[in-house]
Amino acid sequence: MIEFIINYQDKWTKALLEHLELVFVSLVISVLIAMILTIISLYSKQFSKLIVYFFSVIYSIPSLALFSLLIPFTGLGKETALIGLIVYSQYILLRNFISGINSIDNSIIESAVGMGLSTLQTFYMIQLPLAKRSIVTGIRLTIISTVGITTIAASINAGGLGTILFDGLRTMNTNKIIWGSVLSAGLALGLNYILSKVEQRI
């Protein structure tokens, strides 16, 4: 079993890097989109409820099914995987961002608005710094869940650690199945550990 890790070093490091790339790129785009949606939701409570509900429905679709649904529109490959990952991330990010902002004491917001801060100024001067803990939590949870879903994205040719796993399944190669799972689980656990440490510092 250890031989696999040594003999196929190129293969699994490439898969690992692809995996990290997908997670990282989708995370950056997701956080940007979630921030924009959060800002819009400051202007309308209804919009905020609506988007959280909308993305919760999408989040409940199994990943394999969502990826399959996207294929007719965007084909196989990385882009489709990215779209799927970004859509999934929105639910966790938005829930944490919005609930972090809503949990700020009302008197603080009333003071800010009452002294003449605009909605945007209140957001970046008051709400963002005070909600940073739940924002970081949202980002951590998103990373963990994205690492898992990215494994499935290999089924639509997006690359990543899932390729080793699916290869193993197709050829009934136990080594590959085990290493595919161990690597993706290890990546999730490792990132979770590091990010929890970061979170505790805040």
Partner 1 sequence: MIAIEFQHVSKQFKNAKTNAINRIDLSIQEGEFITIVGSSGSGKTTLLKMINRLYEADEGKVLLFGEDINKMNLVELRRRIGYVIQQVGLFPHMSVFENVAVLPKLLKWDKGKIEQTVDRLLDLVGLDQNEFKDRFPAQLSGGQQQRVGVARALAGDPKIMLLDEPFGAIDAITRSMLQDEILRIHGGLNKTFIFITHDINEALKLGTRVVIMNEGKIVQVDTPMNIVQHPADEFVTSLLQSAMKQQAFWKFLQ
Q: For residues 111 and 157, which CB has a smaller minimum distance to partner 1 in the complex?
A: 111
Binding site for partner 1 (CB under 8 A): 105, 107-118, 121, 125-126, 129-130
Nearer to partner 1, 83 or 130 (CB): 130
Q: How far is the CB of 126 from partner 1 (least distance, A)?
A: 6
- Euclidean distance between CA atoms 169 and 183, whole angstroms: 15
Q: Which lies closer to partner 1 via its Cβ, residue 170 or residue 201?
A: 201
Nearer to partner 1, 7 or 44 (CB): 44
- Least distance CB 97 / partner 1 (angstroms): 17
Map tokens 């898969």 to a residue.
15
**Which tokens belong to 168?**
């193993």
Contacts of 187 (CB under 8 A, 6+ apart): 16, 19, 20, 147, 161
Q: Which residue in 128, 152, 150, 158 sits closest to 34, CA to CA?
A: 128
Q: At closest approach, how far in Å is the CB of 94 from partner 1?
A: 23
- Are the CB atoms for 82 and 22 separated by under 8 Å? yes
Nearest distance, CB of residue 45 and partner 1, angstroms: 13
Sign of the Cα pseudo-torsion (143, 196, 200, 103, in order): positive
